[in-house]
Amino acid sequence: MENILMPLNLIPIGSIAKVKELTSQGISRRRMLDLGLVVGTEVESLRKSPSGDPIAYEIRGAVIALRSEEACKILVELMQ
């Protein structure tokens, strides 16, 4: 069975996903790569802000907050 790719901003809080593709371009793509969001990286969704945006993620041992407009361009495969 093939796993379905979904945008990072749609994974449930407390879930872990693996980065499969970055669709952002230019400086935004460079920023994601600099944060360690490369193919194969595991990302855990930790919590949402009171307004729902941004969402805090654990990426390679660091907690990073990403807005939905950035996170929707990171395609992931849900692991748990």
- The confidence score (pLDDT) of residue 79 equals 87
Q: How far does Cα 50 stand from its chain's mean position?
A: 19
- The confidence score (pLDDT) of residue 1 equals 41
What domains can you pick out in the chain, each with its CATH number? 5-78 (2.30.30.90)
pLDDT > 90 fraction of the chain, expressed in percent and rounded? 79
- The confidence score (pLDDT) of residue 3 equals 75
Please name the amino acid found at residue 13: I
Is residue 71 a contact partner of residue 80, using CB atoms and an 8 Å limit? Answer: no
Mean pLDDT value of segment 18-39: 92
Task: Report how far residue 63's alpha carbon sits from residue 31's, in angstroms, rounded to the nearest whole number.
Answer: 15
Residues 29-66 pLDDT 10s: 999 999 889 999 999 999 998 988 899 999 999 999 99
- The confidence score (pLDDT) of residue 72 equals 93
